[in-house]
Amino acid sequence: MSRALLTHLGSAMAGALILLCLPGVSNGLFHGDDDIPPLSPLPQKSKRPPAGSPDTGPSPPSQKGTKELPQADSLEALLNVAGINLPSRLELESYLAASNHPAEGYLAAGMILQDSALMREALARDPSNPHTLFALASRDDFPSADRIEWARQLQEEQPQNSLATYLLAALTWEDGTKSSVLENLGQTDDGQEFQSFTSASMVALSETLRATGSNPGGAALYATMAVDLPHLSPLLALSRNLQDHAEHAPPGEAVTARQSNAALGSSLAAERDLLSQLVGLSIQGNSYANLPPDAPLPLDGVHPEALKLSIKKRRNQIRELSGATEFLHASPELIEGYATRAMVLGEIEALRWLSSRATPSIE
């Protein structure tokens, strides 16, 4: 198993562990608490070195208190049990040619190799594909002007997808008039969907890996562990900008900023992958930071102490369930069952299932 793959998947596991263990995230998420620092920059769930770069081992996170990352031999053993076969560039090119060069295939190949040129080729193959527009607009590999244009196209293709509005706001916050950005954010409502395309990315990755030699369980496990979530970084930056603006803006704009921030957090907290859930909980707490006593509640009917308790409960649930992943080393059947459920039902339900399968005889 290549060191690059171990780096890629080790980083994928690290993202959620960092968010679970950082003091500023685990102790309530409210900036008003004296012992809680501001939200830290978001670690990426998966970041494989670009194709052709030297293989390097996983770098441990610098923050104190973070759980120790899986050792390379332990992670490699899991990948071997899973039957993951990471294809080479030549194998991917052969697959794309045999499949009539599908846009989703190029996007998956670009994610596997961390090759932005392949991702851009996906857009050339299907210029109006919402999944591809979203994936490219979310990534900092591309020029800002291009990302803004792709976000606008996504909004045109999917006007009922509130994520397009949030992403466009994140990309234009520094360039546009804040009141105009807030007005657009204020137009999002409960009737809109929040479609992040994470499931679509998992399916594309899984199909590509299966077509190039991985077994179904291994392909599904890789898809859940290493799926790119590049949109979380700009959305977290938007959250910080909304909070900062709320503390200095006129009362009307401040209310809109806090409510938009809280709505964004709630949408992410409802996603099916754990990292998005953790970021969403952080943003929810962010929206209540330094809330004036007479200000409307960012989440209707949810008071600060109730939100604190809710966030703590959710985080503890995730932390407790995450320990069940150690049982994935037991058998390919557990891997396939877990990964398939994670793709279809979400990681929480998959962890519950995995935990229920644990027996004292499994070490």
Buried b (16+ CB within 10 A) or exposed e, 158-181: beebbbbbbbbbbbbbeeeebeeb
Comparing C-alpha atoms, which of 93, 91, 118, 95 is closest to residue 107?
A: 118
Check residue 86 and give its pLDDT.
86
Q: Which of these ranges, 64-73, 108-117, 133-142, 153-162, has the smallest mean pLDDT?
A: 64-73
Confidence of residue 191 (pLDDT cuts 50, 70, 90): low
Check residue 192 and give its pLDDT.
80
The answer to whether residue 62 scores a pLDDT higher than 80 is no
Kindly state the average pLDDT of the residues 315-343. Answer: 89
The answer to whether residue 250 scores a pLDDT higher than 70 is yes
Q: Within 10 Å of residue 320's Cβ, how many Cβ atoms? A: 11
Measure the N-to-C terminal CA separation of the chain; round to a whole number of Å.
Answer: 23
The answer to whether residue 27 scores a pLDDT higher than 90 is no
- pTM exceeds cut of 0.95: no
Confidence of residue 9 (pLDDT cuts 50, 70, 90): low
- Give the integer Cα–Cα distance in Å for 84 and 70: 17
State the Rg of the chain over Cα.
21
Check residue 43 and give its pLDDT.
35
The answer to whether residue 288 scores a pLDDT higher than 80 is yes
Q: Which of these ranges, 57-71, 124-138, 144-158, has the smallest mean pLDDT?
A: 57-71
